[in-house]
Amino acid sequence: MVLALCAGFGTSRAQDFTFEANRAGDGVHIIAAADLPTGTRNAWDVLTDYDHLAEFIPSLRSSRVVERNGHNVVLEQKGEAGFLFFRFPLEVRLAVEERPFERVNSRATGGSMREMEGSYELRAIPGGVRLVYTGRMVPDFAVPAFIETAAIRNVARTQFAAMVREILRRATPVDASASRDGSRQQ
């Protein structure tokens, strides 16, 4: 759901998550996952804190809710993607569908990406929650494909890592006992 999620293919294993971004045709496919020792409610609260995402996600200058109708949200986000000395301004308008405590789906309806779809999924696991992001992005940059792929890979990895850090920062020991619906398990 976050804005913008190199030549070649790659998998990254950081201390708390896995990340993979592959060029496929004109787009970049991304999958990232993290097992977090916190409850579903905490992770959900961070994922859906749209108006404050720019406070903890690098390269995101602004994120604001334009419209909300129940579990459907329209967001506008602005930021920047970069690789080496190349910098690309990013602006996107997202149609977001929330399935509370399970999934956040987003699709670009305007902005600087030709296509952008993504989904954050929360899965209860023993001792916490698994956060999984999948997305497909087709940038509209006037540069060679290997540069735009590297820029998308860099931004998406950085943003997923920031989301993980914020979920962990907001976690409390009690969170680890939370169930799928956000209530405490006995």
What pLDDT sits at residue 14? 34
Give the pLDDT confidence of 109-154 residue by residue, as tens digits. Answer: 988 778 889 999 999 999 999 999 999 988 776 666 777 778 778 8
One-letter identity of residue 35:
D
Which domains are assigned to the chain?
9-173 (3.30.530.20)
Alpha carbon 62 to its chain's center: 15
How many angstroms separate the CA atoms of 39 and 166, rounded? 13
- Does the structure show a pLDDT above 50 at 42? yes
pTM of the predicted structure, to 2 decimals: 0.81
Give the pLDDT confidence of 44-60 residue by residue, as tens digits. Answer: 999 999 999 999 988 88
Phi and psi, residue 169, nearest 5°: -60, -40
* Rounded mean pLDDT, 11-27: 72
Closest CA to 38 of 128, 160, 167, 101: 128
What pLDDT sits at residue 153? 85
Among the residue ranges 19-23, 32-36, 93-97, 154-158, the one predicted with the least confidence is 154-158
